Amino acid sequence: MQISFHGAADTVTGSRHLVQIGGQRILLDCGMFQGFKALRERNWQPPPRELVEADAVVLSHAHLDHSGWLPALVKHGFRGPIHASPATRDLAEVLLLDSAHLQEEDARRANRYGYSRHAKALPLYTRRDVQRTLARFQPLAPGRELSLGKLRIALTPVGHLLGACAVRLQSGNERLVFSGDVGRQDDLLMPAPQPLPEADVLLIESTYGNRVHPQEDAAARLAQIIRDTVGRGGSVLMPAFAVGRAQALLLVLQRLKAADEIPPDLPLYLDSPMAVQATALYHKHRRLLRVGAREADRLSDGVHMVGDMRQSMRLVRSRWPSVIISASGMATGGRVLHHLKAMAPVDKHHIVFAGFQVGGSRGAHLVAGAGEVKIHGEVVPVRAQVSQLEGFSGHADADELMAWLRGLRRPPRQTYVVHGEPDAADTLRLRIQDELGWQVRVPQHGETVDA
Ligand SMILES: [Zn+2]
């Protein structure tokens, strides 16, 4: 078996691992690079032939750092099937179309205002490329096995996000398992990850490989923030990943309202067309969720779903205290930028980040206490309060990852730690080596190994 690490090997984004096993070349994930500019520039490099000529892609889940480069791969000539769980396929449609739309808009804006350094800014891919990509999807139900020649492929749910799964590739007695992103034991919406399948070679994510989530009650802290902010006439802005985190936050806010922890008549806005679509998919796939059908059905009760851009701009100008959930989650694009521009300079408001902020993103700068941020080419001063509530993270922390690994009966022959910033990946590597005594290493970007 041979593995080439084409992404998420020295960072948390751009997940792409090419595996040669059982006479097949399988690309595990095809994610977009995000964060630091040097990483984002990798999105513009043409893919090596071996990626374009892969026999199939197997997608762990729909987040863009795992799926967001698929349309570019198809644009470069990939013609194989893309296997993913049915819920992942549904979410990928929403996420990829939105991603294409954002890129088309960014290119248009850059051309109109002339702030691109290139003669003419082009989108990485268009909605047409996404449609061609969606046509290549072949849903694979978790727990079922798919045969490709001598190779068998299976998916195991791992919490984290609707449809998210670990991937197992098996040829004869050889088994490779790729964790994808691993969820938490007590996630708000998703059940705990199922046990890790037995593996000879294991690829494990390490987003929080060097951190343990705080024990604090994130919901109680959010309630406090909302009460304080609204009490002084301000509003709370929650940049949130439109798919997954936005729905989890709606659940928390509904519970806080029901318990009178925040004013029951406080207006809640979901200002992200993608989040509105994704919420509908959470309803559709509600049997995959941890919460009961009744609570799932009421996620958006009383929530103002902001539709077109005019409504969104009206909300930006509104002076009425409210809670606004808007995408993107790392404030790298989308409607949340208009809210940020209006709210960041005003000290009565509070900006609450609920998810992981990749290094180099606007969200990471804000969380680190930046005094100003650049938005649409303008410098915006930051006087509003900024908080990060890691308790709402959708990722297992280091202790949860270790507990999941301990569930294996036999150690893998070789473990590779992927999908982490360098310190996180190396810290998890050391724990696996010291606490479990396994053969483990962190691969380098672009490296090929015989495993
Ligand atoms: Zn993810």
pLDDT in tens, 415-445: 999 999 999 999 999 999 999 999 999 999 9
Same domain, 73 and 137: yes
Ligand 1 centroid – CA 440 distance (Å): 23
Same domain, 297 and 197: no
Of the residues 392, 410, 433, the one at which a domain ends: 392
Query: DSSP characters for 245-283?
Result: HHHHHHHHHHHHHHTTSS-TT--EEEE-HHHHHHHHHHH
Ligand 1 centroid – CA 98 distance (Å): 17
Same domain, 148 and 293: no
Confidence of residue 264 (pLDDT cuts 50, 70, 90): very high
Ligand 1 centroid – CA 295 distance (Å): 24
Same domain, 330 and 202: no
Same domain, 246 and 311: yes
Q: Output 213 or 442, whichever has higher pLDDT.
A: 442
Same domain, 324 and 192: no
Ligand 1 centroid – CA 260 distance (Å): 32
Ligand 1 centroid – CA 68 distance (Å): 11
Ligand 1 centroid – CA 256 distance (Å): 26
Of the residues 367, 392, 417, the one at which a domain ends: 392
pLDDT in tens, 161-179: 999 999 999 999 999 999 9
Ligand 1 centroid – CA 448 distance (Å): 24
Residue 241 lies in domain = 218-392
Token pair belonging to 56: 């199939």
Amino acid identity at 14? G
Ligand 1 centroid – CA 63 distance (Å): 5
Ligand 1 centroid – CA 360 distance (Å): 18
CB within 5 A of ion ligand 1: which residues? Answer: 63, 181
Same domain, 145 and 47: yes
Number of structural domains the chain divides into: 2
Phi-psi region of 37 (alpha: psi -120 to 50; beta: other; left: phi over 0): alpha
Long-range contacts (CB closer than 8 Å, 24 or more residues apart) made by 116-125: 124/43, 124/44, 124/72, 125/71, 125/72, 125/75, 125/100
CATH code where residue 416 lies: 3.60.15.10
Confidence of residue 390 (pLDDT cuts 50, 70, 90): confident
The mean pLDDT value of the chain amounts to 93
Same domain, 360 and 400: no
Same domain, 169 and 303: no
Same domain, 14 and 146: yes
Q: What angle do CA 443, 446, 41 make, to 5 degrees?
A: 120
Amino acid identity at 61? H
Same domain, 77 and 226: no
Asked whether 360 and 35 are in contact (CB, 8 A), the reply is yes
CA dihedral over 371, 374, 378, 382, signed as positive or negative: negative
Least confident of 117-131, 258-272, 369-383: 117-131
Ligand 1 centroid – CA 3 distance (Å): 21
Ligand 1 centroid – CA 283 distance (Å): 20
pLDDT above 70 covers a percentage of the chain that reads 99
Ligand 1 centroid – CA 160 distance (Å): 7
Ligand 1 centroid – CA 240 distance (Å): 13
Ligand 1 centroid – CA 192 distance (Å): 15
CATH code where residue 344 lies: 3.40.50.10890
Same domain, 133 and 169: yes
pLDDT in tens, 270-321: 999 889 899 999 999 999 999 988 888 888 899 999 988 999 999 999 889 9
Of the residues 344, 366, 392, the one at which a domain ends: 392
Ligand 1 centroid – CA 213 distance (Å): 17
Q: How far apart are CA 47 and CA 36, in angstroms?
A: 20
Ligand 1 centroid – CA 356 distance (Å): 10
Ligand 1 centroid – CA 265 distance (Å): 33
